[in-house]
Amino acid sequence: VDIEVHRSSTGGLGFSIAGGIDQDSSKNPFLRNDKGVFVSKIVQQGPAELAGLKIGDKLLSVNGYDLLLVTHDHAVKLLRKQKDQILRLKVTRQGMAW
């Protein structure tokens, strides 16, 4: 699924992430033993929710940058460093083919 998140006027995106290759995947609440990066929180009526992002979505890429085999910190940096007003996210949801 392709989702475009428009930054808020303060620059926020309205979501938090969990996971990454450096995290204990056995504690992944979304997909056990998956070291991917997942949406863990969504701000109500924030940019992410308005764009259709959902808790548990697995982030595959942001503006063309691959998020499949990255550490948690690297994923956070990639999301924050995108200066574009619009973040183009490629995500997948449980029940969809990875």
Residue 14 · residue 48 · CB < 8 Å: yes
The pLDDT value recorded for residue 83 is: 78
Superfamily assignment of 2-92 in CATH? PDZ domain (2.30.42.10)
Q: Where along the chain do its domains lie? A: 2-92
The pLDDT value recorded for residue 96 is: 55
The pLDDT value recorded for residue 98 is: 45
Q: Is the pTM of this model over 0.85?
A: yes
Residue 66 · residue 49 · CB < 8 Å: no
- Per-residue tens of pLDDT for the chain, all 98 residues: 999 999 888 888 999 999 999 988 887 777 878 899 999 999 999 999 999 999 999 999 999 999 999 999 999 999 988 778 899 999 998 765 54
Let me know if 84 is exposed, middle or buried by CB neighbors in 10 A (0-12, 13-18, 19+): exposed
Residue 59 · residue 37 · CB < 8 Å: yes
Q: Which helix (H) or strand (E) holds 79?
A: helix 72-81
